[in-house]
Chain A
Amino acid sequence: MKTYLPPKFLVERDLERCIKCEVCVNQCSFDNHYYDAEDDEMKSRTENCAGCHRCVTFCPTGALTVRRNPLEYRDNYNWRPEYIEDIIKQAETGSILLTGMGNDKGQRIYWDHLVLNASQVTNPSIDPLREPMELTTFLGGKPDRLELDADRKLKTKLTPQVRLEVPVMFAAMSYGAVSLNVHQSLARAATEMGTLWNTGEGGLHPTLYKYGKNTIVQVASGRFGVHPEYLDTARVVEIKIGQGAKPGIGGHLPGEKVSAEVSTTRMIPQGTDALSPAPQHDIYSIEDLAQLVYALKEATHYQKPVSVKIAAVHNSAAIASGMVRAGADIIVLDGLRGATGAAPKVIRDNVGIPIELALASVDSRLRQEGIRNRASIVISGGIRGSADVAKAVALGADAVYIGTAALIALGCRLCQQCHTGKCAWGICTSDLFLSKRINPEIGARRLANLLRGWSLELKEMLGGMGINALESLRGNRLALRGVGLNENELDTLGVRMAGS
């Protein structure tokens, strides 16, 4: 069938600069550039361009640029190009539209409507470059009270705690979705920076067991690669109930991505589909969740915190209360803008709630019930910079996960082609030719640099507020004010209007 889809991008080549070196041909995994020997010319199949900028970045003479296709439709606020083009695609395939990365729609981003406080006159700000400043965070349940014995030694038995030097961890991205070199980059960077990375639900490659002290392993509905050594190696075990990009639905790693190597970590035969059922069939209730939480605690001898991750949905606050009561030491909320290696577009863009609102309501609910201390709260889903981290901590988060931001550090340009497995940056692919493009040495350096930069910025913001430990900002919503929000929004966020 001839496709009626117009090209998304135009690739422009400055023929005066082009030296026909064919770097663009080699770099493009979407089959856009080619050399026409007959005409002795470099040409483009522009309809294939995903807008990933790989060719632009690597063209040695800077001869390339990629522009949005200027083709205009007649103005129609209802029938915007995206809807027209989705209909064309479905008329041609009869299928569910898949996509990658996170929600790209315009639902309100509350971080942009929250501003932080600073000290002026009545309390001194602190200069973080010359005074001690602490970002150390301990994840895990905290006791209701502490008891000391006569020698002032701690009598209370603490549940397992995990120390983070920076309250930013790398979010779950499974091997199979991302390449082994990405996993290695994340593991190394997490180890260097004193934080944690997360295997996702596809198991842990044997070469990465040595990073176990900085590794969160996931147990999801597919139970891929879950076996005793996997659980033993980890620092934290995370039960994945849901994901912000696709709340309520399962996953599906197509057989062609299950390479020989991927098969060893997922522990399924090469080439078979890896289906993750929508629910975990041993969890239909909070009581069932408690059962799996304690099964994992038994399996890990009560030595490791058990985390439970859900997608942020309408009744997250009540669910979170259940999760804490079910014995979760860490609860993870993944918001509307959380990303994915593949999800139905309709789900990604329309299901779930913004993480800011979910975080505020969960933190408030747990406080009202007097159980906030029993679990740490970690949030994820669209954290873009250190300011988002600071605001999240002030709203009540103990730490955040970053997925998209980490991938951008590795080269991702958010072209949303993850589900095709053709990632030209070598990130979201199991193609060995492409995945070599991530050098774990350089990848780890870029990721560690990002966390270093954010840490410095966090300290600057804290210092400005006259606070010398992140602990003092945690759940301190008076450090925030809202701008351009209505009363309901301010109320849900538990934040006052700027100026009041």
Chain B
Amino acid sequence: MSDIILEARGIKKWFTVRSGLFSTIFKRTEPTYIRAVDGIDLKVKRGEIFCIAGESGCGKTTIARLIMRLETLTEGELWFDGDKISDMSESEFKKYRTRMQMIFQDPYGSLSNNMTVEDIIAEPLRIHNICRDECEVDERVRSALEDVGLNSPDEFVGRLPHELSGGQRQRVAVAAALVLNPDLLIADEPVSMLDVSMRGQILTLLLELRAKKNISIIIITHNLAVAKQLADRIAIAYLGKIVERGETKQIIDSPMHKYTKALVSVVPVPEIGVERNRILLTGETPNPISIPSGCRFHTRCPFVGDECSQKEPELLKMSDGREVACFKAQVSDAAN
């Protein structure tokens, strides 16, 4: 059993942009690609909560879908608990699928409307033929419900999703993911559809699960405040690449990459009268079809230098252990 539960080596996902019939016949154009994920390495440790954060279009959801094999890799390798899963056939991969589970953003859309809570949670058990009999299914469904804090299972098993509140729905979604006892849980924006008062319940639940079952969790979110409360380590993504990675507190309290700096500086805070040095970037993230040359961020970076548009900075380790892909940050770190 290795310490690393999931490893991604240089994973890429390029989506082909479809051109119309006319241009395919009459023009010989190179196919264009959306470079959603463009060469990312990741290591997630056992029992770790790891966050991938960034704005829309940074590729964070595609990374999650690649890990779950909901998308095929364009390039790169995925390793799960020491086994290479990226080349496996679907039947070989099936037994790994029970060990990694995913929960989605929208608890209103991710649960089937006409299935009872019991059916929803029991479905993965039945698909994977895990239980000897229906009694065991029932037992595991109930214990999964208790795991997610729905403490009187009898009250919930027969209910339909519309009879539950948003927070309860998300708990049921977590229970359905947990019933297979996965080693890795991928949560794509697990709380962004929930009210503030409900969010805390789900976040606490995820922390408890990690403490109790030593499960690894990958959180995908755009909300840095949520990341700060939950994650041990964080990776900030921009246009399909990781620009900065390290311990969450370190990265959010003193970011080094200029993009992270700008992002952190404009997150609204519920504190009054705090003087903050805001770095307001103009424009929006460029289209991932035409990614800027050199450093992807150089078109919007307020501190851009000459080399930034020519060479792409590598993700290098700094003296304090974090990794940053920015020439300026690397130079200033070396100077200190």
Does B associate with A? no
**B-binding residues in A (CB < 8 A):** none
B interface vs A, CB < 8 Å? none
